[in-house]
Structure 1
Amino acid sequence: MRQSQELSLCAEFLLPSTQAFLRTPPYHPAFPSLLSQRVFPYISAMVNNGSLSYDHERDGRPTELGGCTAIVRNLHYDTFLVIRYVKRHLTIMMDIDGKHEWRDCIEVPGVRLPRGYYFGTSSITGDLSDNHDVISLKLFELTVERTPEEEKLHRDVFLPSVDNMKLPEMTAPLPPLSGLALFLIVFFSLVFSVFAIVIGIILYNKWQEQSRKRFY
């Protein structure tokens, strides 16, 4: 990923995904200590199986896999960020010193991602904002040799996960009602409504009869 002068990536997906964030300095009146705990801009990563959301108030710390500081503001040369995923190993490196040398930022083993990737960039503006230009996004498919067992394990992954990290399970959607079930629900609802109306009319008539008897 190549960018000019500055880079800012921040995304929030409710779908299963893996995200890399580059955060600019936040302003949190409720959490003033956050500014003293790390130096911004800051790169972080998270894996989401669809049950998590990015905590903007705490800069994603509850779901963060790792991170590092990336001083990319007001530079006079291009800076680069690479995200590499090979054999369940997620690595993020950066070249922000203008020396064409990669520096390690995040390395997380045991990341399980399903096949069928979608790549995207997004941004969000908070109390403080900067102007950023993402110049290009390059994708490379790596040739990796796998044993039959590794290939089967890779093929059987359906939701993103991380070893030794328990993600909340997604709530399975309820199956849609069949036509017969929907008909029976509507039918018995109507029968119950008619029955309740009839009972109400009978009770009302009895009450009127008792009221008339009191006057005679």
Structure 2
Amino acid sequence: MQNLSKNPICFTLILILCLKTNAQTDHDSYMKREHSLVKPYQGAGIAIPFWDFYGSTMVSTNYVRLTADIQSRSGSLWNQVQCMVQNWELIVQFKVHGKGKELFGDGLALWYSKERMIPGPVFGSKDYFSGLAIILDTYSNHNGPHNHQHPYISAMVNNGSLSYDHDRDGTHTQLAGCEAKFRNVDYDTLISIRYENDVLTVSTDIENKNEWKQCFRVEGVKLPTGYYFGASATTGDLSDNHDIYAFRFYETSPTNVQNAVNRMSIIPEAALFEAPRPRTDDVKPGMSNIKIFFILLLGMIVAVAATIFGIMYYQQRKESSRKLW
């Protein structure tokens, strides 16, 4: 080491080599630019390198807004490059916020899908899709029988034969899910989607603790290579801003090229689904307090009028009886 210190060039080269070797264990060293989206977003003109967008999507210097807090908006953002990585992790930095205090919606979806840039009813994208959807549902007015609160994160794997049922928030086709209070917070919210050795793990960092909290883990999930990553969102009668700040894609282990090609023919499937819930009609909303007040007031008026009429009738009968005697 003493001789190396006398040769600064040699020492510098060895130091750089050591740093590079150590960096191989760092997560950032595996980030693949062709599947990632980080600031600055814009390339030449309004185009984003490796990405397309449509609908109401707007690109600013700080975020990509899929929908504004306006009714009946729909937008999406899609990667242009097929994913040929077998084991990967996608970390998405996002924000959902709006003026609504009790009523808001509808939500956004993160996609690993065979189809891209096709608008549709599933949070702004195609129904009967092939691939994986991670759905971040914020619609606060429940659509049927649930045992959870909103916002709610769930996963759906589809081979093109299933339809996402909004009336049941997709609970009959979801793999798993968890509650996640990510809406209208003042700090960064992140979600991690990790797919490794046919195991899907979704985690969140939404409590400003700078640590991951597992949402769910599902084994036996078969996803092919060659699909596309994307994000989409929609608003209806209720609305929110749905913003994407970053997509960071990591290859978690080296990919065998031949295996990656062979996996392109895999049909998306999952070994286990959550038990479907029986469908029941939504409970009709109760009457407002004003309606109840007026009904009670009317009832009281009728009761008082009936009492007065009864007293008058009784007195009249009594007077008639006296006259007869």
TM-score w.r.t. structure 1 length?
Answer: 0.64
Match of 1:91 among 170, 189, 201: 201
Q: Which consecutive residues of structure 2, in runs of 5 or more, have no partner in the other structure?
A: 1-91, 99-106, 110-122, 274-325
Matched, 1:2 2:93: yes
State the alpha-carbon separation in 2 of the partners of residues 2 and 115 from structure 1.
24
Structure-to-structure mapping, 1:65-76, within 5 angstroms: 65-76=175-186
Higher strand fraction: Structure 1 or Structure 2? 2
Deviation at 1:125, TM superposition (A): 2.0
CA contact (8 A) 2:153 2:177 kept: yes
State the alpha-carbon separation in 1 of the partners of residues 162 and 223 from structure 2.
16
Count of residue pairs brought into register by the alignment: 158
**Which residue of 2 is the match for residue 202 of structure 1?**
none
CA gap 1:129/1:156 in 2 versus in 1, 3 angstroms: closer
**Counterpart of 1:57 in 2: which secondary structure?**
helix
Structure-to-structure mapping, 1:58-137, within 5 angstroms: 58-137=168-247
**Counterpart of 2:167 in 1: which secondary structure?**
helix
State the alpha-carbon separation in 1 of the partners of residues 226 and 220 from structure 2.
19
**Which residue of 1 is the match for residue 132 of structure 2?**
18
State the alpha-carbon separation in 2 of the partners of residues 26 and 76 from structure 1.
20
Per-residue deviation, residues 180-209 of structure 1 (Å, max 9, x unmatched): xxxxxxxxxxxxxxxxxxxxxxxxxxxxxx
**Which residue of 2 is the match for residue 38 of structure 1?**
148
Name the aligned partner's letter for residue 197 of structure 2.
Answer: K
Deviation at 1:145, TM superposition (A): 7.8
**Which residue of 2 is the match for residue 56 of structure 1?**
166
Q: Which consecutive residues of structure 1, in runs of 5 or more, have no partner in the other structure?
A: 166-216
Name the aligned partner's letter for residue 239 of structure 2.
Answer: S
Per-residue deviation, residues 48-99 of structure 1 (Å, max 9, x unmatched): 0001111111100010100011101221110100101000000100000111
Percent identical residues: 43
Name the aligned partner's letter for residue 17 of structure 1.
Answer: G
**Which residue of 2 is the match for residue 161 of structure 1?**
269
TM-score w.r.t. structure 2 length?
Answer: 0.44
Deviation at 1:130, TM superposition (A): 1.7
Name the aligned partner's letter for residue 25 of structure 1.
Answer: Y
Task: Please tell me the root mean square deviation across aligned C-alpha atoms, in Å.
Answer: 2.7
CA contact (8 A) 2:95 2:183 kept: no
